Structures are given as structure tokens and as C-alpha cells.
């Protein structure tokens, strides 16, 4: 079974620029999550999708962050404009979604550095 795919693996941009990350979940997984992991901390949920609908985006800074999962499969997370404090690893995870007990499977993330 192929895992969660994320790209790019690394990204370096200057502050105030825009950036986008892509995630392809495990085939058949209805639930998709985006997490932000700042150095030295555990991951923090940004947004959760069930198919193409948003379940939880309470921690997403909506003035600069946006995410979509238009066809209920792959997803993009965008930051516009980026700030220095956005430097972090952005992790995508997916789960089957047919039970609240299902474990989440994570990709290896995109490491974003803001100059």
C-alpha cells in the first residue's frame, strides 16, 4: 500500500511571498488532515476534511492560510502572504474515515523556511 505522498519536500521563500503544498492521501481514505509542526513541538492540526467537506478548521489562520480538497482525493494547502513564524514542517495525514478509531497515516511533510 502506497503511503501519503507530499510535495515538495523542501521549500524556501521570502516573507510576504506565496507558497503551496500538495498532498495525495492513501487510496480510499476519506479523511484528510493538515498539521503544522514547529521545531521542537508536536504537530498541531490546521484543518480536517471528510471527503471534500471541511470538518474542523478552527486552528487555521484564515487570513493567510487556505486549503482545498475539491474532488475529495488530493489536497493543497496555501499560505499567502507568508510570515517568518510560518517556518515549520507541514504534514498531511489520512485515515479511512469510516470509524472514529481509525489511526492516521502521515506523510513525511514539507519543510518550509521563510527568509
| Interaction site with other proteins (CB under 8 A) | 4, 31, 33, 40-45, 48, 55-56, 91, 93, 95, 100-109
Q: Name the DSSP letter for residue 9.
A: S
Closer of 14 and 98 to other proteins (Cβ): 98
Minimal distance, residue 16 CB to other proteins, in Å? 28
Can you spell out the DSSP letters for 21-84?
A: EEEE--TT--EEEEEEE-TTS--EEEEEEETTEEEE-TTS-TTTEEEE-TTSS-EEEEESS--G
Minimal distance, residue 78 CB to other proteins, in Å? 20
Closer of 67 and 93 to other proteins (Cβ): 93
Minimal distance, residue 94 CB to other proteins, in Å? 11
Q: 90 forms bridges with which residues in the sheet?
A: 36, 110
Closer of 14 and 56 to other proteins (Cβ): 56
Can you tell me whether residue 86 is helix, strand or coil? helix
Amino acid at each position: 500500500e502506497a503511503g501519503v505522498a507530499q510535495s515538495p519536500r523542501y521549500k524556501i521563500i521570502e516573507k510576504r511571498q506565496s507558497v503551496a503544498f500538495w498532498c495525495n492521501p492513501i487510496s480510499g481514505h476519506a479523511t484528510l488532515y493538515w498539521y503544522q509542526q514547529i521545531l521542537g513541538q508536536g504537530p498541531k492540526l490546521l484543518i480536517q476534511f471528510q471527503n471534500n467537506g471541511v470538518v474542523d478548521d478552527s486552528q487555521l489562520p484564515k487570513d493567510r492560510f487556505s486549503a482545498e480538497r475539491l474532488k475529495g482525493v488530493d489536497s493543497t494547502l496555501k499560505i499567502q502572504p507568508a510570515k517568518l513564524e510560518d517556518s515549520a514542517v507541514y504534514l498531511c495525514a489520512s485515515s479511512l474515515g469510516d470509524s472514529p478509531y481509525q489511526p492516521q497515516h502521515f506523510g513525511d511533510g514539507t519543510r518550509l523556511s521563510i527568509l
